[in-house]
Amino acid sequence: MPALLGPTNPAPGLEPQPVRITTPPPTDTSVQNIVDPDRVVRPDSKTEREDNASTAGSTRYESNYMTFLQRLRGARDLPEAFMRILQWGGVEVSSGIRSGFAQELSQMMEFLRMDETQLLEFLKNQMESGSRFAGALFGLLRDAYGDTSSEMLRSDILQFLRRYSDFSSTEHLESKILRETEDMTQSLPSQWANQVKDILAKLESGVKAEDRQGNLNLLREKLFPLVSNYVRMTHDRGRARNLLSMMALDVARYENGEPKGLLRAFRHLASMGALPQELEKLSDADILRLLKESDFAKAAQNNQFAERMAALTNAALRGEGGANAQEAFKNIMAALLVNESVYMPLNHVVVPLDWDGKKMFSEMWVDPDVGGTKTERGDGELRILIKLDIENLGAFDMLFDMRGTDVNLQVACPPAVAPRSQEAAEKLGEILTRNGLRPEYVHVGEMRRPITISEVFPKILEGMTGINVRV
């Protein structure tokens, strides 16, 4: 057929040639973005491992869990930030620092000056207040959850634990709801703000009277409709609307922690055999007293360090300590929040202290379930990672593996200690023996690089095998 669309007849030898498409083999690395019909590949031909490496410095928006891991890797500034605060000692005068903040910082330093007895009490309190589900009662539930094959019973145990978590957070939730309500008064025009102030006064009275149900009715029937109508009428998508969204989550937890629902869940578990039936015979008042007087509740009430640290952080983030303090406390808060994430399967404790005039900071990660379920792990099996930073000496990494009284200890020390590593190992062995433990293996060597948490506790990476994306 002649080329009817061509302007001229083609010259001899230049006729249109058939197009031949040659598909390179999938193994040819010189060609990018090869389509292999036998498998599904990414558009950029990268593997997940390559993608993780290439985006290590950017926020992972597609996965909550990958964001957690990224922030966990970036939380290494915590020792440096704490050491800066300890070295200030409340006497450093920097640009913008206020006398009130310096006084609070000085009081914190007095609190952190400890002897051996005070340090032991401090550690005990931090461990107990850091584990909400500690004690004999939750030990029974943990064993029942691990031993049963009934998904229904496991679901009931988790439901009770959620209720207890919200019940034990009542004081925190109430103060947060009051604070958010007060912030609303500052975010609304006076016509609406005055109505919110009246609701706030009633909420404060309800908190003092421990009238949870009355507060819930007030929030659902008065505050939420009022602010929702304001947003609908004014199309204000600003702070008031955001505060209402955050409060909705707090109110849901506040309602879930209602004592009647907690008691029903408790008695249901006793009737199902997850708890001794003798507990079901207790009165409602006795059950609530048992739950209120748990190790966690007692430790949380006596946790002066947490209260002082929260107050100091609040003041620093408001700028009362100057730019240096604001940056340091911001890093501290970010690192602490990451280590308290729902994805973190370990107990985390921070121990800043002044020991005989020498400043030091330590972090401790504890895995109480090294072997998994009760039937898989041995009695008293424990793994502990301690990171210690001592003023004018350097950083240490200490890994404890314990089974009963048998202990394996590995220590990575700074260069200044390395020449005396053998002597240090002998001293550590003597300390372990003196405290009723049997050292099977003790090794001290120079630190080549800081050990990562995921290397010691690979269970942290287990979430990577699941699907967890942001919507």
Question: Which residue type does 151 have?
Answer: E
CA distance 361 to 391: 9
Residue type, 66: M
Distance in angstroms (rounded) separating the CA atoms of residues 103 and 88? 12
Question: Please, where are the H alpha helices in 363-450?
Answer: 421-434
Cα Dmax for the chain: 105
Q: What is the pLDDT of residue 133?
A: 73
Residue 240: what pLDDT?
A: 86
Q: How far is CA 97 from CA 93, 167, 320, 343, in A?
A: 7, 39, 6, 36
DSSP for 111-144, written as a single string = HTB--HHHHHHHHHHHHHHT-TT-SHHHHHHHHH
Contact 360, 353 (CB under 8 A): yes
pLDDT of residue 315: 81
394-403 vs 347-355, strand pairing mode:
unpaired
pLDDT of 55:
44
**What is the predicted pLDDT for the residue at 249?**
92
Domains of the chain with bracketed CATH = 368-464 (3.30.750)
Mean pLDDT for each consecutive 10-residue tract of the chain (471 residues)? 44 48 48 47 46 45 72 72 70 55 77 83 76 76 88 92 89 91 90 93 93 94 93 86 91 93 91 83 86 69 75 81 81 81 81 83 80 48 88 89 91 91 93 91 91 85 55 41
pLDDT at 296: 65
How many of the other CB atoms lie within 10 Å of CB of 220? 12
Which token pair is 428?
């550590």
User: Which residues lie below 8 Å from residue 461, measured CB to CB, with a gap of 6+?
Assistant: 69, 454
Give the number of other CB atoms < 10 A from CB of residue 54: 11
